[in-house]
Amino acid sequence: MSGAVWNLLSFIVALGVLITVHEFGHFWVARKNGVLVKRFSIGFGKALVRWRDKQGTEFVIAAIPLGGYVRMLDERVDPVLPQFKDLAFNHKTVWQRMAIIAAGPAANFIFAIFALWLMYMLGVQTMRPLVADVAPASIAATAGVSPNQQIIGVNQHKASDASSVNLLLVEQIGRDSITLKLQDMATQQVREVRLNTRDWQFDPEQQTVFDSLGLVLARPQLLTEIAAVAPDSAAAQAGLKANDKIKAIDGSAITDWQQLQQMITNSPERELQLDIVRDGQPVRLNVTPKRVVAEDGFSQGVLGITPKVSDWPEGVLYTQHYGAIDAIVAGAAHTWQLTRLSFAMIGKLLTGDVSVKHLSGPIAIAQGAGTTASIGLVAFLSFLALISVNLAVINLLPLPVLDGGHLMYMLLELIRGKPVSEKTQEIGFRFGALVLLMLMGIALLNDISRL
């Protein structure tokens, strides 16, 4: 199965599950409040499968799996006989209608907790946020962060793994400073350092949040030993082989892969002298990296070799595996962190601390679904939880076409003592649709530019 097809199928499964959960929230609370649900549809367009239950609700699975809806009896849309008015949505109290609308996002939050609960029950392998090195003159170095220290907190929030530290650091974008709580692995002493992030520059498409601060976490390292040589590459033509260890280039000693890569990149079509070790014996070869034009228009050298990777440092990898009760607590805490981060990112988009060029659309979501599904169930559950929280948060935005917009109108109705006029609501719906379409267009263009 091709990667594109796998991504598409994974995307459909993920979206189908999350939309079903969201719409079921509306459906279940509507029925509990005595509203007649006329249709429960997963997808739009032509109905592929349909059936009715004893209460007259039509359930539909439609051809276009990009959304869904619950259609309730509503006097503003359908002619309603007097004896059925009590079953109409618009005849319910404001609090009942608000509960029905809020039930969709609430269902997504609950599902995220469930998915993460199951993930923690199965056990998820993760890594400790142990600092292995600090880049010279970086934000972290200036603050006094040193190697062999584990990050155990960010701005008073506890953190036990690298993933949670990553989310907490991203949440701090736009702040003038970040407080890190560190534990020395040798002495077990705990101290705090303050990072000056007033001039912090972070581009998530080019680097990790750790790299941007100058933090190098303990993880497998790329070695200067060759794992594979691409056929017909400059390396193959020069006679390089798998298991060769590159020791020097033009007489300069090579100590790590990044140094080797930089020298190759900066030498397109320039002959280099390589000192290598092959089967324990020193060998000298001449190689000329091929010239390749990168996306930014600059030329760079390419050799055509893949490095070997070292083993994980001892004690860095561990498995988070909890019992039923502890898994619920961990799942709820993780969901709250994702929710807080999602709202924070929306705020940073509005203030300009985060650029709209980082918005992701359906293509990026499909790629994420395919990648995590390929890794396994645990990774896919984590992905589902993330997207479920994002779906809930987006739906709570006060745009009239979203659940948050409906809740906004109902809140105004509570304050004013009467509904917002149909004309005002219609203007709001058009404005909300325009804003939403604009954001979706930007996200889609960003996706395409990353392909």
Catalytic residues: 23
Contact 341, 171 (CB under 8 A): yes
Residues with Cβ within 8 Å of residue 381, at least 6 apart in sequence: 115, 116, 118, 119, 122
Segments in 33-138 forming alpha helices (H): 94-122
DSSP E strand boundaries for 176-263: 177-184, 190-196, 215-217, 222-229, 245-249, 252-253
Distances 301 to 262, 263, 271, 292, 305 between C-alpha atoms, Å = 9, 9, 11, 6, 12
Please identify which residue in the block is written with the tokens 């149909």. Answer: 422
Instruction: Quote the tokens at residue 207.
Output: 């680097």
Segments in 352-421 forming alpha helices (H): 362-375, 377-395, 403-416
Distances 131 to 135, 152, 371 between C-alpha atoms, Å = 11, 11, 27
Q: What is the DSSP letter of 419?
A: P
Sign of the dihedral through C-alpha 57, 430, 66, 336: negative
| Distance from C-alpha of 214 to C-alpha of 261, rounded to nearest angstrom | 19
| Distance from C-alpha of 423 to C-alpha of 3, rounded to nearest angstrom | 48
Containing 63, the helix (H) or strand (E) segment is strand 58-72
Containing 435, the helix (H) or strand (E) segment is helix 422-450
Cα three-residue angle 365-25-30, rounded to 5 degrees: 145
Contact 154, 160 (CB under 8 A): no
Contact 60, 40 (CB under 8 A): yes
